[in-house]
Amino acid sequence: MIFAKPSARTRISFETGFYRLGGHALYLGPDDIGIGKREAVSDIARVVSGYNDIIMARLFEHRHMLELAEHASVPVVNGLSDYNHPCQIMADMFTILEHRGHLDNLKIAYVGDGNNIVHSWLRLACRLPFNFTIACPEGYQPDPDTIKLAKQAGLSEIAISHDPMQAVRDADVVYTDVWASMGHKEEADERRRKFEGFTVTAQLMAATGKDSIFMHCLPAERGVEVTDEVLDAPYSIVFPQAENRMHVQNAIMLRLLGKG
Ligand code: CP
Catalytic hit among 87, 126, 136, 217: 217
7 CB under 6 A from ligand 1? yes
Active site residue 136: no
* 29 CA → ligand 1 middle, Å: 14
Distance CA 246, CA 97 (A): 16
Task: Identify the CA nearest to 208 among candidates 95, 99, 109, 98.
Answer: 109
10-residue averages of pLDDT along the chain (260 residues): 97 98 95 89 97 97 98 98 98 98 98 98 98 98 98 98 98 97 81 97 98 98 98 98 98 94
Give ranges for CATH 3.40.50.1370 in the chain: 2-82, 86-241
pLDDT of residue 34: 86
Distance CA 1, CA 12 (A): 11
To test ligand 1's pocket by mutation, which of 218, 241, 244 has the most ligand atoms within 8 angstroms of CB? 218
218 CB under 6 A from ligand 1? yes
Q: Which strand ranges, in their side-by-side order, compose the sheet holding 76-78?
A: 2-3, 55-58, 76-78
* 218 CA → ligand 1 middle, Å: 6
88 CB under 6 A from ligand 1? yes
Chain-centre distance of CA 40, in angstroms? 27
Ligand 1 closest atom vs CA 218 = 1
* pTM score: 0.97
CATH superfamily of 86-241: Aspartate/ornithine carbamoyltransferase (3.40.50.1370)
Task: Identify the CA nearest to 204 among candidates 180, 178, 181, 231.
Answer: 231
Kindly tell me the number of DSSP H helices and DSSP E strands found in the chain.
Answer: 11, 8
Is 41 in a helix, a strand, or coil? Answer: helix
Using alpha carbons, list the distances in angstroms from residue 8 to 14, 127, 218, 219. Answer: 10, 28, 9, 8
217 CB under 6 A from ligand 1? yes
* 242 CA → ligand 1 middle, Å: 9
pLDDT of residue 35: 87
pLDDT of residue 260: 74
10 CB under 6 A from ligand 1? yes
pLDDT of residue 119: 98
- 30 cis-preceded (ω within 30 degrees of 0): no
Angle at the Cα of 33 (from 76 to 82), degrees rounded to 5?
55
Distance CA 214, CA 174 (A): 5
Domain spanning 2-82 has what CATH number?
3.40.50.1370
